[in-house]
Structure formats: structure tokens, C-alpha cells
Structure 1
Amino acid sequence: MIEGMRMDLKKSRYRSFDELYLYCYYVAGTVGLMSVPVMGISPDSRAATETVYKGALALGLANQLTNILRDVGEDARRGRIYLPQDELEAAGLSEADIFNGRVTDEWRSFMSGQITRARAFFRQAEEGATELNQESRWPVWASLLLYRQILDEIEANDYDNFTKRAYVPKTKKLMALPKAYLRSLMPPSSQTQSQRHYSSLT
């Protein structure tokens, strides 16, 4: 994690998603991994420990990617672009487009693909969240649901993340908390899958 912070002192461009992934792993994925022993795995979980850690890593990556997509304009004003340059080029976009804040069809298509990738990490994160200790699940689910809504707000802003900051209104945040709480009460998905498997055998 400390190495990831140091990267910001010397790196302001990322040639490919592999490079960006490594940065996200350092600054956020590690937080997810370190949190698992604190949160604890449910004694009712039938999932492999690796599955839980992969889910925690995915949540850290998803949250960081969401931060990056939300803060494109703010980062550009600081001379930083946390987006895969090869994917920008493939979409017909340049650094000038970002620094000038041009919301074009090419930009919308590019952003749509980036959001799809972030949502895939959120889906993987769900697999790990269900396996945590019940008392730890609520804040994890709240983080997952609230951060995922930021992606919805970027879309609602017509992908203008240059001049508009995507944020989740307070009413939506409050509505997400009981939903997260209900999700936290559900037994580990690995347990229910194991029970269904057992029932099918008997």
C-alpha cells in the first residue's frame, strides 16, 4: 500500500490496464486483503478462503476504479490521467480531449466500457462479502452498494465527469443502508449452495 502511495509521486500516466491494475492493487486492493482477518470469515461459510480474499481484493479494485472514473476532471486539472492510454487511443481519444473536457460519443463509449469493467469487479466482490462474519457484512455491503451507485450517477450525468462530480444523493444513500443490512442477514451463499447440493443428492 505504501508503495502505491509512492507511485503517485513519480507516475501520472498508465500505459495499459495491467499498469493501472497494479496501481489499484497497491493503493486499494491491499486494503481489502488486510481487512479480511479483521472482518473474519463466517463459521458457516463453505467457501474456500481464497474466494473470500479474491472478493475483498475485487471490492478494493472496484472502489478505486470508481474513484478514478468519478474524478477524471479533477485529476486532469492536476495534470494526471488515471486511464489506460492504449484504450484511450483505441477509442480515438487523446490527452487533449481529456484536458479540454470534451464529452463526445467516443468518450461516452469509452466510459461505458470502463464502467462495465468496474461493475464486473463489484459482482466478484459480492461473492466474498456473503462469506464474512455476519456482524462485519453490513459495512461491507454498504460500501459495495453505495460505491456502485456512483457509476450510475456518472451515466446519469451523460458521462460528463469533467465538470460534474458524480455523487449519490443523501436520500439514495439512506435507502441503500437498509438494503445493505438485509443483504448482511442472508447466510453465506456457499452454505445455501451446499445445502441445495445436499438436498439434490438426497
Structure 2
Amino acid sequence: MNETILLQCGELMRRGSSSFHKAFDGLPSPRREAVHVIYAFCRIIDDSVDEPENSPYTIHELRSMFLKLEEAEGHFIWPALRWLFSSFPQLSQEPFLLQMEGQLTDLTFTHYETMEQLESYCYLVAGTVGEMLLPVLRDDDNEEARSAGISLGMGMQLVNIIRDVGEDLRRGRRYLPLEVLQRNGYSEQELAQGEVNERFIAVLQELKTEALAYFRRGLDNVRTYPPQSGMAVELAAAFYAAILDAVAAQDYNVFHKRAYVSDEAKVLMFRRTAARYPLVH
């Protein structure tokens, strides 16, 4: 395997999400490189829908080439994926196909009515990532761990939705379910105008409660992972949960500001988490 190809995946992850890169950087090889490949492919899938002008492929081209993976050429992701599936034979292609199916819905289904619809979407675009990572992060096929991995991914997607309300509206999408808006007395007109008031804050807090519940379920069995993997999962969850605090710190103005977690805060979270994993270092 050409090491440069794996380094390119790692660089794509570092540029795309410094939080994820830092969280998984302590994994031993080849688990670390496998996470880089999974992230890189998911990033390319995401960009094919959200930023098609910057993507090497359309979502349809990606799916077609993935289905003929042994023949796919023209980008470093294809040999990287071949390496991934050959190094981790227990890894299924199914969650990757579901991930693409979820991203395809963004092209046609842009306004959500119910939490049930939103949760189905969160599973497809993010719960599946938990399923992809599971065979890479641990060596056994554990149904409880699979369920936890799905929950963690779905919680992270809810955080993304909270953080990116304004950005998504500018793309013509409303992930905040209409039933949640109505339950909290916040109108679609107010949303379109970017009004931050107590009713909007109540909408975000309802989704925040859901996200944190997914995180709790996602971390239920983290101690059954190999120590380096468990620490990586805890770090990823901590970094993402901290985005919710950053949203609150900027008074829930997610229309014009992108909430982010400072490097200093990440260092503190890293130290706190590492203290629970003394054998990792």
C-alpha cells in the first residue's frame, strides 16, 4: 500500500475536522489510518452534495464507483478504500451505501416535519459512521457496541444541526422539525428571519436534550473497547458535546456565527479524558 495515499486521507481529516483528527490521533496503526480513510470518504460524499463545485465527483458517480471498487481509479480514495476493506475484512460495505443514500436525500428532502423523520436522516448520514468505525475500533462483533456507535453518530449529527441552522437555511434546508418548532411556539417566519428569542432557544434546547441522550447511550459500553479506542471515542464525544456549550455561550445565535471549541478547551478535555486512561500513555 502506498503510504502517501493514507497520508492524504489523514490530511483531509485534519483539514476537515481538527477535533476528530485529534480525538483519533492516539490510535495505534492500522486503526488510526483506517479512521482517516473512513473520514476522508465520508467527507468526499458530504462535499459532493453540499459543495459540488469543490468535489471531484457527484454523489451518483461516487456510488457507481464504490459499487465497482476493485476497478475504481482517478483519486486516492479508491486505493485507500481497497486497503481499508482488505485490512478489516469484517467491515461491511452496507453502511457506506446507506451513508450515500442519506446524503442523496439532501437533494430532494429539505424540510423536516417530525423528529422521527429527522432521526431516520441522522441514522443514514451519521449513525452509519458509527457502524463503519466499529470493526476498526474493536476486534469483536458486539451488538451492544454497534447500537452504541450508532447512537453516538446520531448525537453528533444533532449537534451539527444545532450548530449549522443558519448555514443550512442559506442552502434551502430546514432540519429543525416543524413539530418541534410548533411545540415551542416558534414560527417558520421567525426562523426565516433569524430571530433568536426564548422560543427559539427552547427549540434548540429540546434538540440538545435529545443529542445528550444519544451521547449517554453512545458511551454506555465505552469501557469494553480497547483502551486507545475507548479514549478516542470519549474524546470525540467530549469535543462534540462542547459545541453545545459554545452555542449557549454565544447566546444561541446560530444564524450568523459558527460555534467552535477553542484549542485551549480541547487540551483541557484531552487531559481530563487521558487521566481515565493511564495505560494508554
Percent of residue pairs bearing the same amino acid type: 36
Structure 2 unaligned residues grouped into runs of 5+: 1-98
Summarize the Cα distance change of 1:184–1:14 in structure 2 as closer, same or farther, 3 Å threshold. Answer: farther
> 1:41 Cα deviation (Å)?
5.1
* 2:213 aligned residue: 120
> 1:151 Cα deviation (Å)?
0.6
Q: Which amino acid aligns with 2:253?
A: D
> 1:24 Cα deviation (Å)?
0.5
Match of 1:70 among 163, 167, 181: 163
Alignment of 1:36 onto 2:134: yes
**TM-score, length-normalised on structure 1?**
0.84
Match of 1:14 among 86, 96, 112: 112
Structure 1 unaligned residues grouped into runs of 5+: 43-47, 187-202
Alignment of 1:89 onto 2:188: no
Q: Which amino acid aligns with 1:76?
A: L
Matched residues in 2 for 1:23 and 1:131: separation?
A: 28
Q: Give a deviation string over 1:79-102, Cα, whole Å, max 9, x none.
A: 111111111122122222112110
Matches within 5 A, 1:1-202: 1-40=99-138, 49-185=142-278
Q: Give a deviation string over 1:9-47, Cα, whole Å, max 9, x none.
A: 1111111011000111001101101211111158xxxxx
Q: 1:55, 1:127 within 8 Å by CA — same for their partners in 2?
A: yes
- Kindly indicate whether structure 1 or structure 2 has the higher relative contact order, using CA contacts under 8 Å at least 6 residues apart: 1
> 1:185 Cα deviation (Å)?
4.9
Matched residues in 1 for 2:157 and 2:216: separation?
A: 15
Count of residue correspondences: 182
Matched residues in 2 for 1:147 and 1:56: separation?
A: 14
> 1:177 Cα deviation (Å)?
1.3
Matched residues in 2 for 1:143 and 1:96: separation?
A: 35
Q: Which amino acid aligns with 1:38?
A: V
RMSD (CA atoms): 1.9
